[in-house]
A and B are shown apart, each in its own frame.
Chain A
Amino acid sequence: MNFEIKNSNLIEKIRVNDMSLYYKDFKALEDVSIIFYEKNITALIGPSGCGKTSLLRTLNRMTDLIIGARVEGQILLDGVDINNGKQDLPFIRKNVGMIFQKPTPFPMSIYDNIKYGVTISRRIRKIEMDEIVEKSLRAAALWSEVKGKLNHSALNLSGGQQQRLCIARALAVKPEVLLMDEPCASLDPISTMQIEDLMRGLKKTLTIIIVTHNMQQAARVSDYSAFMLAENAGDPGRLVEIGKTEDVFTNPVDRRTENYITGRFG
């Protein structure tokens, strides 16, 4: 099956070619080929255990942290294979940021949370750092809520604010791709809407890939949706279908996609 989307206006940001992922002997993903387009939001959907998060984690080599994890095939970021041995890992992680399911603020001030990632890559003057903090918090739609308490602990923020702080922290190092692994799973509906609204704003400059179990969220927020499935327990996850979100949610091509999104199987 050809998973390329025909649209000459789209620019490839990440291309995954025949990628398989192993955790020791277990094959978690098989022959996944997918293109993520620049300045678009792509949602990865599918039942638990189909490899959505695993696929997401391969895109900035988070799988390097897992003992026994091995990737076959190619993952091209702007045309360069991130697994070719010559790529600088901090460079990849800077360009491809990640937001996790549960907000993960560091136990330090709001200001220092933002500063942390930026100072890993370079030294920076206080005045410039102030600008980066403000800009990042504004981009994450959090500035107006925290501008008077930048030195307060990030742990005192609400769940939704903590998640937006994590987004601000990721944005501070100016990534080009943002990976979001169920970013709203632990948030209330208002915070969820704020994050979704934020995502729509961020895609003007960023490529976003989101894993979500919330079908309505995928339908609301993404431009493209990819359905993944591991047919039976123990099978590797495979990509079943990718298409424009409006097509996938109104008239999916594959019967398995139809069955999943209409709740015929879970």
Chain B
Amino acid sequence: MDALRSALVSDLNKLKNDMISMVNLVNRNFDLAMEALLERKVDNINEVDVSDEEIDEYHIKIENGCLKTIATQQPVASDLRQIIFYMRSVIHLERIGDLAVNISRIAKIVLLMKHNEKIFSILEEISQKVKLMLSNLVKAMSNNDSSLAESIVEMDEEVDQLYSQVFVEFGKIKEDRNLMKWATDIILVCRFLERVADNVVVVANRFSSLYG
């Protein structure tokens, strides 16, 4: 049946493949950035920068592909909604890529600093949650699994709660100047992680309403 609009179907398949490649790359880059920070893998920092350029290229490629398909194939209904989903989601994926770059830069700064165990463990916990959200987004988009996408939305609340816990712990270390510098940078990382989670939620929400 798809043969009737083979050019449109081919365009949509290409866009979907590019989206999945992009979200996989974003996921991988995020993992590299977190490894750089949590496991002190400094070599990852340069790799994150290089991969981010590739993410930006996907952003432009997918956006142009969407425009071309709209202009030449005049998609409607679910086809049109799918394209609009791609056009809007690439912006959020590209932002996650930028946030991973920001995190990897902070990883370089805090590498040799004295740190606080409690705050570090919260950071690890937030990181694991966000990592799971992002990897579930990859799975949901690869397998057209809207219920998995819906479950991502629920995980965001846990991230928000952990994010507020960081501030409580920060209040306890205010007299240690050396630790303060480290903690300020880590709060910034937590803020970036919270924003990564928000961007994942936006994409997951749009995805579940598209296929739900």
Contacts and interface: CB of A to CB of B under 8 A. Distances in A.
19 contacts: A215-B74, A215-B76, A219-B76, A249-B80, A250-B76, A250-B77, A251-B81, A257-B77, A258-B77, A258-B78, A259-B1, A261-B76, A261-B77, A262-B5, A262-B75, A262-B76, A262-B77, A264-B4, A264-B5
Interface in A203-223: 215-216, 219
Nearest to B74: A216
A259 B76 CA distance: 10
Interface in B1-52: 1-2, 4-5, 8
A258 B2 CA distance: 13
B77 A266 contact: no
A263 interface: yes
A208 to B, nearest CB: 21
Which 7 pairs show the lowest CB-CB distances between chains A and B?
A263-B5, A249-B76, A263-B4, A264-B1, A261-B76, A262-B79, A258-B77
A265 B1 CA distance: 6
Given A215-B76, A219-B76, A250-B76, A264 B81 contact: no
A252 interface: yes
A264 B2 contact: yes
Contacts of B5: 262-264
Interface of B: 1-2, 4-5, 8, 74-81
A70 B49 CA distance: 74
Contacts of B79: 262
Contacts of B77: 249-252, 257-258, 261-262
Contacts of B8: 262-263
A120 B74 CA distance: 45
Interface of A: 215-216, 219, 249-252, 257-259, 261-266
Contact of B4 (A219, A249, A257, A266): A266
Contacts of B78: 258, 262
Contacts of A249: 76-77, 80
B153 to A, nearest CB: 21
B76 A265 contact: no
Contacts of A215: 74, 76
Contacts of B1: 259, 264-265
Contacts of B75: 262
B76 to A, nearest CB: 5
Nearest to A258: B77
A68 B80 CA distance: 44
Given A259-B1, A265-B4, A266-B4, A250 B80 contact: yes
Nearest to A266: B4
A261 B5 CA distance: 11
A265 B75 CA distance: 14
Contacts of B81: 250-251
Contacts of A263: 4-5, 8
A259 B2 CA distance: 10
A252 B8 CA distance: 19
A110 to B, nearest CB: 36
Given A249-B80, A250-B81, A264-B2, 11 more contacts: A215-B74, A215-B76, A250-B76, A252-B77, A257-B77, A262-B5, A262-B75, A264-B4, A265-B1, A265-B4, A266-B4
Contacts of B76: 215, 219, 249-250, 261-262
Most chain B beta-carbon contacts within 10 A, residue among A249, A250, A261, A264: A264
A225 to B, nearest CB: 11
A264 B9 CA distance: 10
A252 B2 CA distance: 18
Nearest to B4: A263
Contacts of B4: 263-266
Contacts of A219: 76
Contacts of A261: 76-77
A251 B74 CA distance: 15
A71 B1 CA distance: 35
Contacts of B80: 249-250
A200 B76 CA distance: 22
Nearest to A219: B76
A263 B8 CA distance: 9
Nearest to B1: A264
Nearest to B5: A263
A249 B75 CA distance: 9
A219 B74 CA distance: 11
